[in-house]
């Protein structure tokens, strides 16, 4: 006697089905990651969902803001007075320096006019506040509270009062993400202000260290040298402090020097930052000249017959003009 | 019915809080030590209410977390799916472990998660993780008993409400 067969025997047991489902999800995730890596889907999705996402960031940043506000309120009076005095001194010093700089600037402007260069010395900047959230596993990127609607675009330089902080890498309608100079994926063309030696400062992922590799062994660079942006590459405007050399050593190959640099910007503390409005004039070879040829009526043509037929269709009253032009070259 | 709904609320609020905690910054020194909150919360619910959590749900939570985090779409989705799959597979054993053994299992699960993250970052060409972040699974395991007790307390209270 045969046992009564169950009507629906599952092809896969429960465990197998679970495993298959997991594999399907893993494959889906892998496909998503590859597509996102190649096409930047995430940015588009984030841009579309920004109306929902940005308030979440604000919410997540709120406790940190409260703690900050509370600590400011609870700071002792004497400490505030002290800080106030220090700031006054700093301001006085800065103003004195600025006054001196003013004269130098004017002189520089005259000289530049003499040299017939046109470089803007004035700069337009926009104030932005940090939204205190953590993006990704490291703290190499920060979120700012201005976005496309405030005129921010990808590639703008972010500075604080001490130096270059980084650049904008992603914009949302009312927020934007800036990559800091310490991000290992970040590099900025720099120049030693003392000697004019050029290099490229890379981030290391370490909060207080950049590295300028591939300097010749014979190059004149010392501890304490200040590096400023060189303006090469056209991304960062020239002349903003990037950092000071703290250590010099040979690189792994022993053929080049490597300068370890402490960033000038206060990356840990900056609550308010400036976004530079103007992109610098690109430095480098001039753009290729646009294709300029003789006027259309004088241009030589490849198909004489076709053009003539067309011409006779369009302007039958002037038949002689194209014929003479065609024979000149 | 009522109890189920209350539990559902607790579940979603827990997930939302975990995502917020993921975004909240800590002082820079201890930043890399921050435990992976969404994983902890998902682990509790897959142990205690396995009908509520599935691999697909973990995947969706991961996608949302990726959207918020802005690193790589699909990264956390993959990791959370793997994590929840393992927990669901060994659920019957993990549930009856004493707390210290459970914490040890959580440490291993989070470590696995961390290894996956490092692999994904390596494939995507991102910079390697800070060395200190390898202690983050241990921190997660250390606070697991508290997370478990807290969520369990909320869970039993909701159940008690129904009985009353």
Residue ranges per structural domain of chain A = 19-72, 126-280
**Contacts with B, A 213-232, CB within 8 Å:** none
Q: What is the mean pLDDT of residues A47-61?
A: 83
Phi, psi for residue A322 in degrees, rounded to 5: -65, -30
The shortest C-alpha distance from B6 to chain A (Å) reads: 24
Alpha carbon of residue B23 to chain centroid: 14
ipTM: 0.83
The chain A residue lying nearest B20, using CA atoms, is: A60
| SS3 track for B90-142 | CHHHHHCCCHHHHHHHHHHHHHHHHHHHHHHHHHHCCCCCCHHHHHHHHHHHH
Residue A296's Cβ-count burial label (10 Å; 0-12, 13-18, 19+) is exposed
Question: So what's the pLDDT on residue B16?
Answer: 93
CA nearest to B73, candidates B134, B18, B120, B39: B120
The shortest C-alpha distance from A87 to chain B (Å) reads: 25
Whether residue A118 has pLDDT greater than 80 = no
A294 has a chain B CB within 8 A of its CB: no
Q: Cα–Cα distance between A328 and A151 in angstroms, integer?
A: 53
Question: So what's the pLDDT on residue A300?
Answer: 65
Superfamily of domain A126-280: Rod shape-determining protein MreC, domain 2 (2.40.10.350)
Q: What is the mean pLDDT of residues A125-154?
A: 83
Q: What is the mean pLDDT of residues A158-168?
A: 88
Q: What is the DSSP string of A62-87?
A: HHHHHHHHHHHHHS-HHHHHHHHHHH
Question: So what's the pLDDT on residue A189?
Answer: 94
Tokens of A27: 């494959």
Q: Which chain A residues contact residue B74 at CB under 8 A?
A: 28-33, 36
Judged by DSSP in three states, A276 sits in strand
Do residues A177 and A46 touch, judged by C-beta distance below 8 A?
Answer: no
Does the residue B28 lie in any domain?
Answer: no
The shortest C-alpha distance from A117 to chain B (Å) reads: 41
Question: For A239-248, A313-322, B6-15, which range has the lowest pLDDT when averaged over its residues?
Answer: A313-322
The chain A residue lying nearest B29, using CA atoms, is: A207
Question: For A120-134, A240-254, B36-50, B80-94, which range has the lowest pLDDT when averaged over its residues?
Answer: A120-134
Q: Which chain A residues contact residue B117 at CB under 8 A?
A: 137
Question: So what's the pLDDT on residue A302?
Answer: 53
Q: Which of B15, B61, B78 is the best mutation test for A, with the most CBs of A within 10 A?
A: B78
Q: What is the mean pLDDT of residues A36-64?
A: 82
Question: So what's the pLDDT on residue A114?
Answer: 59
Do residues A260 and A245 touch, judged by C-beta distance below 8 A?
Answer: yes
Range of the domain at B92: 2-23+33-163
Does the residue B86 lie in any domain?
Answer: yes
Q: Cα–Cα distance between A74 and A249 in angstroms, integer?
A: 45
Q: What is the DSSP string of B35-86?
A: --HHHHHHHHHHHH-TTT--HHHHHHHHHHHHHHH-S-TTHHHHHHHHHHHH
The chain B residue lying nearest A59, using CA atoms, is: B20
Question: So what's the pLDDT on residue A109?
Answer: 76
Question: So what's the pLDDT on residue A3?
Answer: 52
Question: So what's the pLDDT on residue A317?
Answer: 43
Judged by DSSP in three states, A269 sits in coil
Question: So what's the pLDDT on residue B161?
Answer: 62
Q: Which chain A residues contact residue B62 at CB under 8 A?
A: 29
Whether residue A323 has pLDDT greater than 90 = no
Q: What is the mean pLDDT of residues A303-313?
A: 45
pLDDT bracket for residue B133 (50, 70, 90)? confident
The shortest C-alpha distance from A127 to chain B (Å) reads: 22
Tens digit of each residue's pLDDT (9 = 90 or more) over B24-34:
887 777 888 88
CA nearest to B103, candidates B64, B141, B137: B141
Q: Which of A33, A140, A205 sits opposite B73 (nearest CB)?
A: A33
Q: Which of B25, B74, B127 sits opposite A132 (nearest CB)?
A: B25
Q: Cα–Cα distance between B153 and B161 in angstroms, integer?
A: 12
CA nearest to B142, candidates B94, B97, B95, B110: B110
Q: Which chain B residues contact residue A42 at CB under 8 A?
A: 66-67, 70, 72-73
CA nearest to B59, candidates B78, B45, B75, B40: B78
Q: A-B interface: how many C-beta pairs under 8 angstroms?
A: 123
CA nearest to A169, candidates A183, A50, B26, A160: A183
Between A316 and A211, the more confident residue is: A211
Q: Cα–Cα distance between B6 and A36 in angstroms, integer?
A: 37
Tens digit of each residue's pLDDT (9 = 90 or more) over A257-287:
999 999 988 887 667 888 887 655 555 556 6
- Contact between A49 and B67 using a beta-carbon 8 Å cutoff: yes
Q: What is the mean pLDDT of residues A34-56?
A: 81
% of chain B exceeding 70 in pLDDT? 96
Total count of domains within chain B? 1
Mean pLDDT of chain A: 78
Question: So what's the pLDDT on residue A279?
Answer: 56
Helix B75-89 to helix B55-69 angle (10° resolution) is 150
The chain B residue lying nearest A30, using CA atoms, is: B74
The shortest C-alpha distance from B30 to chain A (Å) reads: 11
Tokens of A300: 């030589």
Q: What is the DSSP string of A130-186?
A: EE----SSSSSEEEES--GGGT--TT-EEE-SSSEEEEEEEE-SS-EEEEETTSTT-
- Contact between A42 and B72 using a beta-carbon 8 Å cutoff: yes
- Contact between A18 and B129 using a beta-carbon 8 Å cutoff: no
């Amino acid at each position: 006697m045969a046992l009564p067969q169950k009507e629906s025997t599952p092809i896969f047991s429960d465990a197998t089905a679970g495993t298959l489902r997991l594999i399907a999800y893993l494959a889906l995730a892998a496909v998503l990651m590859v597509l996102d890596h190649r096409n930047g889907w995430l940015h588009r999705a984030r841009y579309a969902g920004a109306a929902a996402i940005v308030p979440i960031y604000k919410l997540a940043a709120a406790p940190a803001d409260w703690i900050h506000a509370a600590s400011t309120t609870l700071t002792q009076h004497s400490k505030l007075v002290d800080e106030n005095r220090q700031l006054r001194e700093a301001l006085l010093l800065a103003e004195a320096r600025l006054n001196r700089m003013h004269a130098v600037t004017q002189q520089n402007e005259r000289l530049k006019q003499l040299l017939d260069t046109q470089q803007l010395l004035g700069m337009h900047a926009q104030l932005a506040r940090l939204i205190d959230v953590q993006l990704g596993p490291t703290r190499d990127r920060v979120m700012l509270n201005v976005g496309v609607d405030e005129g921010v675009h990808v590639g703008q330089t972010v500075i604080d009062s001490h130096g270059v902080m980084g650049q904008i890498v992603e914009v949302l309608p009312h927020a934007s993400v800036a990559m800091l100079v310490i991000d290992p994926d970040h590099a900025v063309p720099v120049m030693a202000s003392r000697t004019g030696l050029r290099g490229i400062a890379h981030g290391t992922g370490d909060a207080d260290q950049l590295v300028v590799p591939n300097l010749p062994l014979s190059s004149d660079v010392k501890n304490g040298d200040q590096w400023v942006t060189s303006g090469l590459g056209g991304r960062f405007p020239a002349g903003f402090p990037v950092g000071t050399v703290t250590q010099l050593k040979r690189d792994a190959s022993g053929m080049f020097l490597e300068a370890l640099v402490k960033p000038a910007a206060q990356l840990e503390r900056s609550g308010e930052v400036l976004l530079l409005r103007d992109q610098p004039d690109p430095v480098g070879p001039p753009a290729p000249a646009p294709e300029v040829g003789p006027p259309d009526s004088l241009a030589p043509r490849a198909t004489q017959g076709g053009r003539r037929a067309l011409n006779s269709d369009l302007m039958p009253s002037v038949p002689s003009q194209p014929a003479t032009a065609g024979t000149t070259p | 019915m009522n109890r189920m709904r209350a539990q559902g609320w607790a579940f979603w609020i827990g997930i939302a809080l975990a995502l917020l905690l993921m975004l909240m910054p800590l002082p820079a020194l201890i930043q890399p030590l921050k435990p992976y909150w969404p994983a902890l919360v998902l682990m509790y619910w897959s142990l205690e209410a396995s009908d509520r959590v599935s691999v697909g749900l973990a995947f969706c939570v991961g996608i949302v977390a990726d959207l918020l985090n802005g690193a790589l779409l699909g990264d956390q989705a993959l990791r959370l799916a793997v994590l929840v799959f393992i927990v669901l597979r060994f659920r019957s054993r993990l549930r009856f472990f004493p707390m210290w053994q459970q914490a040890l299992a959580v440490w291993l699960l989070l470590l696995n998660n961390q290894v996956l993250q490092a692999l994904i970052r390596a494939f995507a060409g991102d910079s390697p993780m800070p060395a200190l972040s390898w202690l983050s699974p241990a921190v997660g395991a250390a606070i697991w008993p508290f997370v478990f007790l807290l969520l369990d307390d909320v869970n039993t209270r909701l159940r008690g409400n129904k009985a009353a």
